[in-house]
């Protein structure tokens, strides 16, 4: 039974790391990337929809993004979503096509983005630690109820801690790589 708990704990920690990767994908690095617009939602048909469900996002040039909106009535909503995001982008509309030039990042903006990356990494670390705490609590309950011996509980607790340490190291490495990418001129 404890083996299943450990695989669940590892799956949840992996989920926190994957969420961090998606957050990092939305941070600008001076190069155009379709993942830059994917976290944005558009007010469409009375609800919030992901950008990639109202149009096709593409990267025709290294410093240009385009969004081919499928429904003409949503062009203004897509344009508004891009302008109101914290990305600092100004789309140019040509019919159903929005062209979004990617401006050069100033040094100040690079530092600001690296701080945001640090905040995302800290959220991921907190998520991993919460999974660890939940797993440790579950192991203690299993020991109290007699489902697990004290020695086994300590072994599993050590394993949960080592999983936590390895996931924190992965998060730190991802943050370091993202900061280098952002600060690269």
For 143-153, write each residue's pLDDT tens digit.
899 888 888 88
In CATH terms, 2-25+106-183 corresponds, of 1.10.10.60, 1.10.40.30, 1.10.10.10, 1.10.132.20, to 1.10.132.20
Residue ranges of the chain assigned to CATH 1.10.132.20: 2-25+106-183
Distances 51 to 21, 64, 92, 148 between C-alpha atoms, Å: 18, 17, 16, 48
CATH code at 34-101: 3.30.1360.40
Predicted pLDDT at 3: 59
In angstroms, the CA 69 to CA 75 distance is: 6
Q: In this structure, are strands 64-69 and 97-101 parallel, antiparallel, or unpaired?
A: antiparallel
Residue ranges of the chain assigned to CATH 3.30.1360.40: 34-101
In angstroms, the CA 78 to CA 57 distance is: 11
- Of all residues in the chain, what percent carry a pLDDT higher than 70? 94
Nearest to 39 by CA among 53, 105, 107: 53
pTM of the shown model: 0.68
Mean pLDDT of the chain: 85
pLDDT digits (tens, 9 = 90+) for 49-96: 888 888 888 888 878 889 898 988 888 888 888 888 767 778 888 888
Q: Greater confidence, 5 or 185? A: 5
Nearest to 103 by CA among 87, 81, 85: 87
pLDDT digits (tens, 9 = 90+) for 2-31: 555 788 999 999 999 998 888 887 676 666
Residue 46 has pLDDT above 80, yes or no: yes
């Amino acid at each position: 039974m404890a083996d299943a708990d450990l695989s669940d704990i590892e799956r949840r920690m992996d989920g926190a790391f994957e969420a961090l990767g998606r957050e990092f994908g939305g941070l600008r690095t001076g190069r155009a990337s379709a993942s830059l617009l994917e976290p944005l939602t558009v007010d469409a048909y009375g609800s919030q929809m992901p950008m990639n469900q109202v149009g096709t996002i593409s990267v025709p040039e290294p410093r240009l993004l385009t969004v081919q909106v499928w429904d003409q009535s949503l062009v203004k909503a897509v344009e508004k979503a891009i302008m109101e995001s914290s990305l600092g982008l100004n789309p140019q509309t040509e019919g159903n096509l929005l062209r979004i030039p990617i401006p050069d990042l100033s040094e100040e903006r690079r530092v600001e983005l690296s701080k945001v990356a640090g905040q995302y990494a800290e959220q991921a670390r907190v998520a991993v630690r919460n999974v660890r705490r939940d797993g440790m609590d579950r192991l203690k309950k299993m020991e109290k109820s007699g489902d697990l011996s004290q020695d086994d509980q300590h072994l599993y607790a050590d394993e949960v801690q080592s999983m936590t340490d390895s996931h924190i190291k992965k998060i730190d490495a991802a943050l370091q790589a993202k900061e280098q990418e952002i600060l690269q001129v």
